[in-house]
Amino acid sequence: MFPMERIHSSQYYTFFQSKTEKCFYIDFGQKVVGFRFCELLSLRQKIWAINIETHFDGANIHGFEILSLCNKEHFFILNTLEVLDLKDLLSGAFYILGIGTQDSVLATKA
C-alpha cells in the first residue's frame, strides 16, 4: 500500500493523506477512495449542500442521500448518521490540514 498518513478519524470513516502522491484517501469501510484536492473540495461541497432537516421533517422519509464522487467514478448511499459523520470527518480533517477554521469543527460537534 502507499505511504499514507492518518489525518483524522470519525466514528465510521478515516481520512489519510499521501505526500508522495499528493492526494488524499478516505476509508469508507467497504472501500477506500482516493481524491485529488479538487475532488475533495467537491465532496465537501456536496455534503454541505445536503439539507439534513429534510431527514426529519418528512420531505426525505427514508433519510438516504445518493452521492456521486470524483466525477461520477464512485457512488455512495449514505444514511442520516453517515452524512453527519462524514461532515464531522471533513471538518476535522480540513482543520488539521490547515485550511479549515475551528468554528466549523465546533459547529459539527454541537
Which positions touch another protein (CB under 8 A)? Answer: 5, 7, 17, 19, 22-24, 37-38, 40-42, 44-45, 48, 94, 96-101, 103-104
Which residue number, 7 or 69, has a Cβ lying nearer to another protein? 7
| Least separation in angstroms between CB 83 and another protein | 17
Supply the DSSP symbol for 60.
T
Strand partners, 8: 15
User: Which lies closer to another protein via its Cβ, residue 7 or residue 84?
Assistant: 7
Q: How far is the CB of 37 from another protein (least distance, A)?
A: 4
3-state secondary structure 3-56: CCEEEEECCCCEEEEECCCCEEEEECCCCEEEECHHHHHHHHHHHHHCCHHHHC
Q: CA nearest 107: which of 95, 46, 13?
A: 95
Residue 100 CB, nearest approach to another protein (Å) = 5
Closest separation in Å from C-beta 19 to another protein = 6
At position 42, the amino acid (one-letter code) is: S
Measured from the CB atom, the residue of 44 and 74 that comes closer to another protein is 44
